[in-house]
Amino acid sequence: MTTFLQQTFNGLSISAVYILVGVGLTLVFGVSRIMNYAHGQFLILGTFVGYALVSAGAPWWLALLIAPLAVGALGVVLYRTMFQRLASDHLATFILTVGLGIVIQQLIVKIWSPEQRQIASPLTDSVEVGGVIFTDARLLMLGICIPVVAGLIWMLGHSDVGRRMRATAENPHMASLVGVDAVRTTSVAFLIGSALAGLAGVLLGILFPFTAFGGNAFLIKGLAVALAGGIGNVTGAVVVGLTLGLVETYGSAYGVGPEWQDGYAFVLLIAILAWRPQGVFRGTVEV
Amino acid sequence: MAALEIVDLVGGYTPKVDVLHGVAIDVHPQEAVAILGANGAGKSTLLRVVSGLIAPRQGSIRFNGAEITGVSPHRIARAGLAHVPEGRQVFVRQTVADNLRLGGMGSQGQEERLERLLDVFPVLRDKLGQRAGELSGGQQQMLAIARGLMSQPSLLMLDEPSLGLSPKLVDEVIELLARVRRELKTAFLLVEQNAAVAAGVADRAYVMRRGEVVGEEHAQALLGNDQLLSAYLG
Amino acid sequence: MGRRRRVYVAVNIALALVVLVAVPTWPPHLIGSANTTLLSVASLAAIWAIVAVGTGMFVNLSGLPTLAQGGLWGVGAYASGITIIHLDIGFWPSLLFAAAIPALLALPIALVALRTTGVAFLVVTIAFTEFIVLLITNLSITEGPRGLQAAEPPGSIGPLEFESLSSQYYLYLVFLALAIALYAAVARSRFGARLRAIRDRERLARSLGINVLVHQLIAFELSATVVGVAGALLLLQQQVVTPELFGSLQFIGIYLAIVLGGLTVLGGPALGAWIVLFLPLWIGSDDPNMSLLIYGVLLVAAMLVLPRGLLGALKGWTAGAAEPAPAAEPGPGGGDVALPPPVERTAQPLGDVLLEATSVKRWFGANRALDGIDISVRTGEIRGVIGPNGSGKTTLLNCVSGFLATTDGAITYRGEPLQGRRPDSIARLGLVRTFQEPEAFGSFTARESCELIVASARSREAVNEQLPEGADAVLASCGLSAAADLPVTELSYGQLRLLGVAMALSCRPYLLLLDEPAAGLTPTDAVALRDVLLNARAAGVTLVVIDHDMSFLLPICDSVTVLDGGTKLAEGEPDAIARDPAVIAAYLGESFAKRRAGMLAGEKG
């Protein structure tokens, strides 16, 4: 039982990362119809910006604040300068954003290093309750992910910004007729979605060692989460992201060996899409 | 000064094919004007050009004295020109309350206006928390009109508000629009196939045929003008 | 293709061939460093080119970007290697496995992926490729991350031996030529034309009886076979293959090749492969990270600057210089068209019930678009369907033609229930519909559009033999002969509408459902359309026509059904319908009709 609870806690902290990545992808796509395949590199960029800040002497909490903002700003700039021109052409968007991802990755290698790195944080303690070990870093992950995602869901549901995003997602033309500025609204979606990737990146960097080449795995899992949850549906991404983290952890502990861990995302995606081609929940930005 | 002044408007959905061939129309402050015409006469296209969804190839549109040709739709909407598009277009996945709030965003006194409109549209009051897609056709049309009014526009453009509604509901819409005019002093530009709605709401009507204005008449006289009516009834 | 252009293309192909064939005679270290020889890079480029052609073929003809070909390429390589090692067969027999196993694995994934659209298709194929890489990494038979080694040169065929690297290079070139030939054959076949039609306008293709899934599936399988064989060649060339070679993001190199070379040109993907592999060497970098960075920048630049690729852009320039675009010919509206003489409307005896709908309902949430409609159409009839906007006319047509499922009720055609049938299968029964907006296959001319349908319909059982056969006959019957060779994008609005009817008639249907065929037509075009419809009826076609234009519709109809608010308001002969007070009220508004009636009475009194 203790082991099971331990697995659940560990799984939830992994779920948190998948949720942050998947929600970012699904929010951006829902509002803009643009799938950002550089999203995984955005995450790694967040990790390295956080790493650079901490290495330069900044406290870890400042890194947690600045890295997401930097990545969010990059997302907005790339949207305004490049993505905007290609909207709705899936192949062109794919090629462009994968190309950008490669450029970001290689710039990280040039600026920092291709070697493995870790963010030095004071969060190395842990709390033990009834035999279950709660490490500080994993607690931090949950402690940040839960309020951030809850806040995002509240914002989408109850604020004017959220209404604008939902309206643009459902029908951009009609939204413009009620005075919604589509470009500005989409920029906000890019800001939030990209910042979530940056946030996931810093949190991961505090928890695990990392290299410049890890972004792809998170991109692919984020895509699976976004798509299986019903593309554009934030709640769907949360549900599937939660499921995926737990399934992966339980699967490694009780099922086939840990080398198959990355396979659950694909199996989950294919199974869900074979059952419901539009994903678990219906699309358009929703909460 | 006219609230809306359209001069020599030419354009369509593609650069090659013009749907409008030199349309000229004005609407005075607090006036209700109808545009009558058969399917394909270019009425909806005209409204879409005015609200900025389609750029015209030629011509000028002035709203409250300011040139709005080529201005993006959200700016035109914020300037106080609301467009309720054809076919009960509401955000079906959003709640009734959110639809209304979207209409009134960015202006002061949202909540008071919401209250006031709910007095005019009592049917929406009980449904505020429901998704708009769950409303009946008539209720969706009411919602679309109410959403257009939330921004306190000085001119409301309505594209076939009677579309697909039963005769009884059509009569309700006519009554409602008359009440809106009395109480909110909004000017209307109303596109209609249904002459009853036009005659019941408008002061003045234009008749369009194949992208041109072929006639203009006061609403009272509209009923008797056989020539004008046959121009669009075919 | 103009003569100048043909010469230009031939010269280029010849030049390319000379350069390619001469590669082994060049100094081996002309470019690159000590450990990359020109021959090895050229060999790899040839293999990449095969993958690029195999992938580009599917992407271009289906319009669906796929990354599954990355994994399938790997499956081909491992299938070849594993059969060589474990079955102890030589290179040549292993090619069969390299072709067959990817095709087999492609089937289930294509069935899932093809049910989705757009971005979902791409993501599913990414997931598939990543899953394949995971399998290859973790299975014992594939030797894990260290990679699979199989260094067996192909056995000689007659006097041809393949021991030397240069002979193997020529072998890759031969396979590349075969791949390009296959692409050309598919692209020019009727099958390829139908694929392009689906890509251009899927629902139109469905409405004309083309089975979308089967076509896309076959194309996917062909592509899987080509990249599978390329996998076997890669193993031969590299002697060892590792899992990460086939990851979805590594496959972006192939896409870079396709994009640089141009997707829509046969040789484009091949040219691109050479550029992608040689460019980093020309720039003088042997650093894999540097070449990755170059790729990244190229991908971005290509999308922002050259969305049609190098060859595509070149093709555009030369075509633009050599052949001025044909000027639009005057259409039916121009007045100089020779339409066949219209058949006089005669009171024909009507046959049995052909189409019967019983209490058909279609609800969209609380919105009851159809709320219990009964309609019965007899053979030989022209039935008009009128009603105000939003009264359910198009919804009814969509339900009958299979584009929408009914909420309740039954629809039978020739006594057979239509429920559960897909639109294309209904069309193959001889029940064809047109769309309210004029639709056409954007990359076709008018004649090609009709030829495509005529050829597809030839093998069908339910064919109305009385209708003219052959694209030219159909186009002539619709007054489109003069416009036959124009690309559909250059047709006038009226011509596009008539082409929609012509394509439907190319199916040689028994029952034709037309959704507002006269909307937006000039009076001349409307007359042309009327004659087309009357001629079709004389050839035994039963017609159901939705329209708003009473002056067009009422004279040609035998009977008219009036819908209002999703129910049937009236039905009867055109003259009676035109006088029916309820119908007048539905169009004009009840209160208006009353007031007007009162006013007219007042004037008289």
Give residue-wise pLDDT tens across range C185-231.
Answer: 999 999 999 999 999 999 999 999 999 999 999 999 999 999 999 99
Does residue A90 carry a pLDDT above 90?
Answer: no
Q: C549 at the B interface (CB within 8 A)?
A: yes
CB contact under 8 A, C134 and A106: no
Amino acid, res. C7: V
Does residue C282 carry a pLDDT above 90?
Answer: no
Beta-carbon contacts of residue C263 (< 8 Å; ≥ 6 apart): C56, C59, C60, C269, C308, C309, C312
Does residue C24 carry a pLDDT above 80?
Answer: no
pLDDT at C601: 55
Q: Give C332 to chain A, closest Cα distance, Å.
A: 35
Smallest CA-to-CA distance from A238 within A218, A262, A222 is with A222
Question: The tokens of B37 are what?
Answer: 């015409």
3-state SS class at C104: helix
Chain A residues touching chain C at CB-CB below 8 Å: 29, 35, 82, 85-86, 90-92, 94-96, 98-103, 105-107, 109-110, 114, 216, 220, 223-224, 227, 231, 259-260, 262-263, 265-267, 269-270, 273-274, 277-278
- Rounded to whole angstroms, how far apart are CA atoms B80 and B61? 14
Which has more pLDDT, C589 or C6?
C6
Residue C332 pLDDT class (50, 70, 90 cuts): very low
Q: Contact at 8 Å (CB) between B60 and B11?
A: no
pLDDT at B14: 74
In this complex, which of C389, C493, C565 lies closest to B193 when CB atoms are compared?
Answer: C389
pLDDT at C361: 93
Q: CB burial class (10 A; 0-12, 13-18, 19+) of residue C598?
A: exposed
- Rounded to whole angstroms, how far apart are CA atoms C577 and C583? 7
- Rounded to whole angstroms, how far apart are CA atoms B86 and B78? 20
DSSP B133: G
Mutate to test the interface with A, among B49, B72, B93, B140 (most CBs of A within 10 A): B93
Mutate to test the interface with C, among A21, A31, A90 (most CBs of C within 10 A): A90
pLDDT at C252: 85
Phi, psi of C378 (to 5 degrees): -100, 155
CB contact under 8 A, C127 and A29: no
Q: Taking CB atoms and an 8 Å cutoff, what residues of chain C touch B164?
A: 388-391, 565
Q: What is the mean pLDDT of residues A173-197?
A: 95
Question: The tokens of C187 are what?
Answer: 């692209």
Residue B230 pLDDT class (50, 70, 90 cuts): low
* b/e sequence A90-106, b meaning 16+ C-beta within 10 Å: bbbbbbbbbbbbbbbbb
Q: A171 at the B interface (CB within 8 A)?
A: yes
pLDDT at C341: 56
Span C30-57, pLDDT tens digits: 655 555 678 888 899 999 999 999 999 9
Does residue B231 carry a pLDDT above 80?
Answer: no
Residue C584 pLDDT class (50, 70, 90 cuts): confident
Mean pLDDT of chain A: 91
pLDDT at C32: 52
Span B95-127, pLDDT tens digits: 999 999 998 887 778 888 899 889 888 889 988
Q: What is the mean pLDDT of residues B187-207?
A: 86
Q: Contact at 8 Å (CB) between C213 and C114?
A: yes
Does residue C58 carry a pLDDT above 50?
Answer: yes
Comparing alpha-carbon positions, the chain B residue that sits nearest to C597 is B223
CB contact under 8 A, B195 and C589: yes
The runs of H, that is alpha helices, within C211-347 are: 212-238, 252-261, 268-283, 288-305, 309-322
Mean pLDDT of chain C: 84
DSSP C333: G
Beta-carbon contacts of residue C527 (< 8 Å; ≥ 6 apart): none
Question: The tokens of C209 are what?
Answer: 């009886």
pLDDT at C331: 38
SS (H, E, C) chain A: CHHHHHHHHHHHHHHHHHHHHHHHHHHHHHHHCCCCCCHHHHHHHHHHHHHHHHHCCCCHHHHHHHHHHHHHHHHHHHHHHHHHHHCCCHHHHHHHHHHHHHHHHHHHHHHCCCCCECCCCCCCCEEEECCEEEEHHHHHHHHHHHHHHHHHHHHHHHCHHHHHHHHHHHCHHHHHHCCCCHHHHHHHHHHHHHHHHHHHHHHHHHHCCECCCCHHHHHHHHHHHHHHCCCCEHHHHHHHHHHHHHHHHHHHHHCCCHHHCCHHHHHHHHHHHHHCCCCCCCCCCEC
CB contact under 8 A, B94 and A170: yes
Span C458-516, pLDDT tens digits: 888 888 888 888 899 999 999 999 999 999 988 888 889 999 999 999 999 999 999 98
Which has more pLDDT, C387 or B143?
B143
pLDDT at C319: 46
Amino acid, res. C142: T
DSSP C355: E
- Candidate from A242-256, B56-70, C305-319, C443-457 with smallest mean pLDDT: C305-319
pLDDT at A285: 63
Rounded to 10°, the helix A2-32/A39-55 angle is 110
Residue C316 pLDDT class (50, 70, 90 cuts): low
- Percent with pLDDT over 70 in chain C: 86
- Rounded to whole angstroms, how far apart are CA atoms B4 and B35? 14
pLDDT at C321: 39
pLDDT at A202: 94
Which has more pLDDT, A265 or A147?
A147
pLDDT at C349: 67
In this complex, which of A82, A106, A270 lies closest to C296 when CB atoms are compared?
Answer: A106
CB contact under 8 A, A102 and C252: yes
Residue C284 pLDDT class (50, 70, 90 cuts): low
Q: What is the mean pLDDT of residues C118-122?
A: 86
pLDDT at C426: 95
Comparing alpha-carbon positions, the chain B residue that sits nearest to A180 is B74
Q: Taking CB atoms and an 8 Å cutoff, what residues of chain A touch B49?
A: none
Does residue A97 carry a pLDDT above 70?
Answer: yes
CB contact under 8 A, C389 and B160: yes
Does residue A176 carry a pLDDT above 60?
Answer: yes
pLDDT at C598: 55
- Percent with pLDDT over 90 in chain C: 48
CB contact under 8 A, C549 and B196: no
Element of type H or E holding C375: strand C367-378
Find chains touching chain A: ≥3 CB pairs under 8 Å: B, C
Please report the beta strands in C379-510, taking only residues with DSSP state E, as ranges in sequence order: 382-386, 408-413, 416-417, 431-433
- Percent with pLDDT over 70 in chain B: 93
pLDDT at C304: 82
- Which residues between 262 and 281 in chain A have a beta carbon less than 8 angstroms from any beta carbon of chain B? none
Span C125-144, pLDDT tens digits: 999 999 999 999 999 888 88
In this complex, which of A170, A180, A182 lies closest to B93 when CB atoms are compared?
Answer: A170
Does residue C577 carry a pLDDT above 60?
Answer: yes
Does residue C21 carry a pLDDT above 90?
Answer: no
Does residue C345 carry a pLDDT above 70?
Answer: no
- Rounded to whole angstroms, how far apart are CA atoms C550 and C559? 13
- Rounded to whole angstroms, how far apart are CA atoms B130 and B134? 7
- Rounded to whole angstroms, how far apart are CA atoms C11 and C20? 14
Span C76-87, pLDDT tens digits: 999 999 999 999
Span C151-180, pLDDT tens digits: 778 888 878 888 888 889 999 999 999 999
C-alpha atoms less than 13 angstroms from C-alpha of A87 in its C-beta half-sphere? 16
Q: Greatest CA separation found in chain C?
A: 109
Span C139-153, pLDDT tens digits: 988 888 888 988 778
Span A129-171, pLDDT tens digits: 888 889 888 999 999 999 999 999 999 999 999 999 999 999 9
- Rounded to whole angstroms, how far apart are CA atoms C482 and C334? 11
Does residue C107 carry a pLDDT above 90?
Answer: yes
Does residue C326 carry a pLDDT above 60?
Answer: no
Q: C596 at the B interface (CB within 8 A)?
A: yes
- Rounded to whole angstroms, how far apart are CA atoms C59 and B36? 48
